[in-house]
Structures are given as C-alpha cells and as structure tokens.
Amino acid sequence: MTPAGNRGLPVFRRIAPLFAVLLVLAGCATRPSEDSTAPPESDGVFPVTVAAPGAPAVTLDRQPQRIVSLSPSATETLFALGAGPQVVAVDSASNFPEQAPRTQLSGLSPDPETIAAYRPDLVVVYADTTGLADALAKTGTKTLVMPDAKTLDDAYAQFEVLGKATGHQAEGESLARQTRDEIDKIVADTPKRSLTYYWELDQTFYSVTAATFAGQVLTRFGLTNIADGTDPSASGGYPQLSAERILQSNPDLIFLADSKCCGQNAQTVAARPGWNTLTAVQRGQVIALDDDIASRWSPRIVELVRTVADAIARTGA
C-alpha cells in the first residue's frame, strides 16, 4: 500500500537517491537455527504452481517448512494464514506480528548467502531485481515474488497465492473473502460525502495520487485526491506537492502516513506557516495514521479502511 516501508517501504522511499529520502531500517538480529516446531498440517495439494498478479509463476514440489519472508506485507499475511510456524526468518522491516522471527536480513538489498544460511525452502520477496531467485535456485530454494499490490483485488489475490503456496489454501481463500467482505461493508455503511483529501507520505509533501494502492482505497469512498492532475508518469504516482498547492486546494481531510517515521501529527501540521487556515485543520480532520498499516497491503488494510470511514463520518457531526 503506499507500497511498503520501514514498514514495507513506499515505492518512492525504496528509490531514496531519486527523492533524497533517508531510510533507516532497524531490527533485532537473530542467528539461523533449527526449527523444532512440528510441521503444520497441509490443506493443499503438492506439487502446486502459483503466481501473484504481475509476477512469474513458481512450482513448489512440497509444502515449504522453512520460509524466509523479505516483505513486511507478506510476513503479516503468512501469520494471518496460520503459516507462522513455517516462517524461520523475516527481514528487519517486518515488525508485525510481534512473534515474527525478525532478523537483520534486508528486503531492499537481499544477500543470497546470508539468506541461504537459514536453509529456507521458500523465500518470499516483493521484487527480484538482483537475480536473487537464480542465485537461490542453485541451493534448491524457490523464490516467490509478491509485488506491490496495485489494487485491492491484487491484495486479495496475494492472500490466496500465499495460502496455496504454503499449504493453507482454504485459509487463504477465507482470508481474501473475509477481508473483501469487511471492506465492502465498511464502505457501504459510510455516509457518501463530497470531500477532498491530502495524503502525506513525509513532511516534504510527497503524496499519492488516486492511481496508487492507497489512493484507490480512498477512491472507494468517493473522495477526491488533491494530488490528482499531476503528471501521471511522474514519480510513479507519488508526486511531491508544494505547500502552496496544498493551501490553495484546502483539503477537507488530511491523512498523515508519516506519524511514526517523522513525528507528524495535528499539532505539527497546524504549526506550519499558513496551515492553520486549512479546513481540515480548523475542523480537527487531520488524521495521524499508523505508518505501517498505511503502507502495506496486508489483512490489516481493514484497519485503515475503518479509520478513513470514521474520519468521513465525523465530517457530518
């Protein structure tokens, strides 16, 4: 969602040199170890061939018992599926759930040798731009790419793919169905109002357009994004706005996806020059989000949708 971050980094943050964004990924180091947990029962049929939308297909001969996840979104989904006992290591940005075996592994610059030390039979990544899959294949390890979800349907499809790949097919299908139903109900139950919004990725005013995952989620509520109208080819849907543009647009709602990373909140926003005149500020409609939830396409997207719904409902109070 905002595709991933220290929390599963947003796209623009994964290419920091381009946007001069400094990323600090902290984690608790662990050493490779034997997994003494009894293998979970499988509800899948192996061998099985799986592929996430926009990613290459992978054939798994048997249910994986030693999974390494280098994607925070995938980590959350694996545990939600009940595949947690099969996960032996996750990357340093995978900070949820608490019991995930967090390490110093990097999802941004994965090192095949370090990963192989965990003896995985399956590695889950959000992208493979460095030949990781080929390198791991030499050790007999399969690599499953779960790219940034572009739509809610992509996210649901990934739940099903991870379920099928790990021997939890029924759970994957159930998780996708349940998440879809919850989101559809929240949207249907939310009053329809003509409102504009500004979504902040950091205090230098990087934002999202409606073409991004986060933008499409908010479009479900009929909200108008003040970042739309920028060059759609620029920044991959993550344009940097100016303070002047934001002030002139005078959004009804401001969503801060930089509260944890950058300490932004309603008070810091109100203290910016001229921002105390904004409708969102004056009406108390500056919403500090959990950065992780706002940037991942995991089952916790329901929490984000509920937060947005609550904010819209309050505009009529």
Query: What pLDDT is recorded for position 82?
Result: 98
Residues ≥6 apart with Cβ < 8 Å to 195: 222, 223, 224, 252, 253, 312, 315
Query: What pLDDT is recorded for position 31?
Result: 38
Q: Are strands 48-50 and 58-60 parallel, antiparallel or unpaired?
A: antiparallel
Query: What pLDDT is recorded for position 16?
Result: 37
As a whole number of angstroms, the distance between CA 210 and CA 202 comes to 17
As a whole number of angstroms, the distance between CA 174 and CA 157 comes to 11
Query: What pLDDT is recorded for position 256?
Result: 98
Whether the CB-CB separation of 14 and 108 falls below 8 Å is answered with yes
| Mean pLDDT within 185-213 | 96
| Mean pLDDT within 85-106 | 98
Exposure b/e, 30-58, CB count within 10 A at least 16 = b: eebeebeeeebeebbeeebebebbebeeb
Does residue 106 register a pLDDT over 50? yes
Global pTM exceeds 0.75: yes
Does residue 261 register a pLDDT over 60? yes
| Mean pLDDT within 17-35 | 35
Query: Which has more pLDDT, 247 or 235?
Result: 247
As a whole number of angstroms, the distance between CA 295 and CA 99 comes to 20
Among the residue ranges 29-33, 46-50, 71-75, 118-122, the one predicted with the least confidence is 29-33
Which of these, 65, 67, 62, 66, lies nearest to 46 by C-alpha position? Answer: 62
Dihedral sign, CA of 103, 98, 160, 152? negative
| Helix or strand (DSSP H, E) at 263 | none
Q: What is the pLDDT of residues 38-48, one digit of tens each?
A: 445 556 689 99
| Mean pLDDT within 74-99 | 98
As given in the structure block, the two tokens for residue 223 are 């909200």
As a whole number of angstroms, the distance between CA 296 and CA 299 comes to 9
- Residue 263 — left, alpha, or beta (φ > 0 → left; ψ -120 to 50 → alpha)? left
As a whole number of angstroms, the distance between CA 107 and CA 69 comes to 8
φ, ψ of residue 255 in degrees (nearest 5) = -110, 125
20, exposed or middle or buried, with CB in 10 Å at 0-12, 13-18, 19+? exposed
Q: What's the chain's average pLDDT?
A: 88
Task: Catalogue all structural domains in the chain, each as residue range(s) with its CATH number.
Answer: 44-167 (3.40.50.1980), 188-314 (3.40.50.1980)
Of the pLDDT bands very low, low, confident and very high (cuts 50, 70, 90), residue 174 is: very high
Query: Which has more pLDDT, 161 or 41?
Result: 161
